[in-house]
Structure 1
Amino acid sequence: MKIMKPKALAMILLSASAAAALSGCSQHAGDDAETIGSKQAAVKVTDNQESRNTGAWGGVYMSRDELAEPATNIVDVSSLPTVANDPSLVKWQEKFEGTEVKTREGSANAQTEFENTNGFVTTDGEKLYHDSCAACHMHKGEGAEGAGYYPPLANNSKMQSKYYVIGILINGFRGMPSFHTMMNDEQMAAVTQYVHSELNDFTDTVTAADVAQLRHANPPGADPSE
C-alpha cells in the first residue's frame, strides 16, 4: 500500500472542508430560516390600478366614456362660471364701465371675449378722478410719498392753467401714463375741471374744445419714459 505524504493529505482535507463550507451556504438550515429570497417573497406586489382608482395618480384613470369625450383639462372647469358671468369681473365692469362682452361667431369653437374700449364711459369728472388719478394723488388731491413721489393736485398753483392739466393728461409726465387713448375730449375736460375747480379754487370753464386744441394724432407709447 502506498503511503500518502502528510503534506498531500493536508491539502486534500483542506479542499474537502472548503467544498463543504461553500455547499452549506446554499442550503437552508430549516424551513423557518429567513433568507433574501424569503424577504423578497414577503413584499406585497403594488396594484397600480388600485392606486389610480383611489386617486393617488390624480386624473390618470379614465373610463371608456371619458376617453371617448373631446380632450379637456385635467382640472374640471365645468362648474366654474363663464368669463362673462365671473362675479369679480362683473364687479370691475361696474367700477370702470365701458367693457363690452361679445361672442365670436362663425367658428367651431365660439369664444366669449371682451371688446376692451380701452377707456372710460362716464363723463363725470369726479368719478374719472377717483377711478384714474386718486390711487396716486390721493382722493383729496393731497399727493403722497413712498416708493415714488406723487405731487399734490389740491392747492397747487400749477393747476390754475387748464391747458397745463390737459397737456399732462394727453402726454403723460415722468412716471404718470398718458390718457390719450383712454379718455375722449369731453372726459378729459371733465376731469380737468374737477382738478381745476374742486381741488382748487380756480374758476375757468374747461371744454372739450380746449382739449381738442392740444390733442394730436401720435399718442405716447405705453412706457411713460417715451
Structure 2
Amino acid sequence: MTIIAHALSTAATSAETSPDASHLSKGGTFEEQGGAALFASVCAGCHQPDARGASGAGDYPALTQNKTLASADYLERLLLSGRRAMPPVGQMMSDQQIADVINYVRTHFGNAYDDAVSPADVQAARRQTGSAP
C-alpha cells in the first residue's frame, strides 16, 4: 500500500509541475478568447485547420463557402444544442465566445456573411434552447 500511495503522490506532484500541464484544459469551459483562437482550439480538430472538413471515422462538413452559415440562428442552435456527431460545445463557452467563433467562421474561409452575432443574440438563443452558460 505504501508503494501505491507514494506512486500516486509522485504522479500528482509531477503533473502539477509539468511544463505541459499549462496546456491541459481545466474542463467545463474553454479559456480561449477570440474567434480565431476558439476555432483553432475547438473546431479545427474536426473541421480541419483550413475548414475544408473531413471524412473517415466520422463526417465533418466543410465550413468553407458553406451556405448554411448564412443563418446565424442555425449556428447558435448548433453550438448550443449539438446535432448528430456535433457536441453542444457552446454549453462550455460564454455568450461572447460563441458570438466570436460564429462571426469568425462566417467571415473567413471564403464566407462573407457580415451580419454580426452579438452576445445578446446568443443569450436569447440560450433561453430558446434551454442551454445554460
TM-score bracket, shorter-length normalisation: 0.7 to 0.9
From 110, 117, 126, the equivalent of 2:36 is 126
From 81, 88, 91, the equivalent of 1:181 is 91
State the distance in 1 between where 2:118 and 2:44 align.
22
Q: CA RMSD in A?
A: 2.3
State the distance in 2 between where 1:80 and 1:120 align.
25
Which structure would you say has the larger RCO, counting Cα contacts within 8 Å and 6 or more residues apart?
2
Helix, strand or coil: the match of 2:124?
helix
Stretches of structure 1 that go unaligned for 5 or more consecutive residues are 1-70, 100-115, 221-226
Alignment length, in residue pairs?
A: 128
What letter corresponds to residue 89 of structure 1 in structure 2? A
What letter corresponds to residue 212 of structure 1 in structure 2? Q
The 5 A counterparts of 1:47-196 are 72-74=2-4, 77=7, 82=13, 83-90=15-22, 92-93=23-24, 96=25, 99=26, 116=27, 118-196=28-106
Percent sequence identity is 34
> What is the Cα deviation at residue 123 of structure 1?
2.4
Q: TM-score, normalised by structure 2?
A: 0.83
* 1:211 corresponding residue in structure 2: 122
Q: TM-score, normalised by structure 1?
A: 0.51
> What is the Cα deviation at residue 128 of structure 1?
0.4
Cα pair 2:90 2:98 within 8 Å, conserved:
no
Stretches of structure 2 that go unaligned for 5 or more consecutive residues are none
> Which is helix-richer, 1 or 2?
2
> What is the Cα deviation at residue 124 of structure 1?
0.9
